[in-house]
Amino acid sequence: MTRVLGLLRRELLIALTAISMLPACGGAALQPQATPPAELRLGFFPNMTHATALVGIKKGFLQDALGAQTTLQPSAFSSGSNLVEALLSGSIDATYIGPNPALTAYARSHGQAVRVISGATSGGAALVVRPGVPLKTLASPGLGSTQDVALRWWLKQNGRADEITVLPQDNSQTLQTFKSGQIDGAWVPEPWATRLVLEAGGRVLVDERDLWPGGQFATTLLVFRTDFLLQHPETVKRLLAGHTQADQWLNANPTEAQAAVTDYLTELTGSKLSPAVTAAAWSHMTFTLDPLPATLRTAADHAIQLGLLPPVDLTDLYAR
């Protein structure tokens, strides 16, 4: 219990530091508005790696923190590319998103459109393969997605990029193509990695945690559009406070949190995860407010070397 309380105090300190930094975010011409926005449009994925978003929405942490003047309008997305387009078009104000789509939005807008506010999840991704089968075709959640970059970089580092085809497809489709033998494996986030193992007989070839120092790497971040952040800094602070409460609750109440996440995913997808899948997938993730910026810089370097991201200066990526 003492260790848990110590971790929560550390998480809260990280969040409070981020909150204190928000008004100094660069980009200039826009000025804070006196009236809170009527709504805050928030994107997220129906994946367990977005558990902070799921419990923040379902348990009311985010709406309660925003208060009565601003209504939270959550929207579930199926791919990072769709989230990037929504951010850049102004269709959403903030989102839980993987590092590489966040980097794509930042690079495409020449460092102007988005800012990382907080971390959310570390870990929770793996390459799962069919036992005893030569690897010829592997799936990823989408070209340029966080797991797609991880897979392509691993193939490059192991000298197999020219002999294995990477097939981007939705995670739900990957489960079916894996079961039918159309693909030989996939690098996917949770709960899909665990589902490939427990429901389709796969085995973990690479747990991505093993590729990073200390087993920690950014999987999910909380990102805001820069113009929303500049116009509504107090609303951003409120949302971040709710995000912090959701993070603390996840870490302090893992059993109840697993049930809440499973229930909301069932509501969103119409498919209920088994308790065994939920528990196993949960053990592969860490929920943290730390955005783990060093790992984001590494992810950017990998994507650049793969030709999936142009060279980009990350100086202004984080609200400061």
Q: Look at the pTM and tell me if it is higher than 0.85.
A: yes
pLDDT tens figures, 264-281: 999 999 989 999 999 999
Residue 43: name the closest of 110, 88, 104 by CA.
88
157-169: average pLDDT: 96
- According to CATH, the topology of domain 125-214 is D-Maltodextrin-Binding Protein; domain 2 (3.40.190)
pLDDT in tens, 96-115: 999 999 999 999 999 999 99
Task: Find, among 16, 65, 11, the residue nearest to 250 by Cα.
Answer: 11
At 85-96, the pLDDT tens digits run: 999 999 999 999
**DSSP 3-state assignment of 166?**
strand
pLDDT score, position 33:
79
At residue 97, the pLDDT reads 96
Same topology between domain 2-123+217-305 and domain 125-214: yes
In the predicted model, what is the mean pLDDT of the chain?
Answer: 91
Spatial separation of the C-alpha atoms in residues 281 and 127, rounded to whole Å: 14
Domain ranges of the chain: 2-123+217-305, 125-214
CATH topology of domain 2-123+217-305: D-Maltodextrin-Binding Protein; domain 2 (3.40.190)
Q: Is the pLDDT confidence value at 26 over 70?
A: no
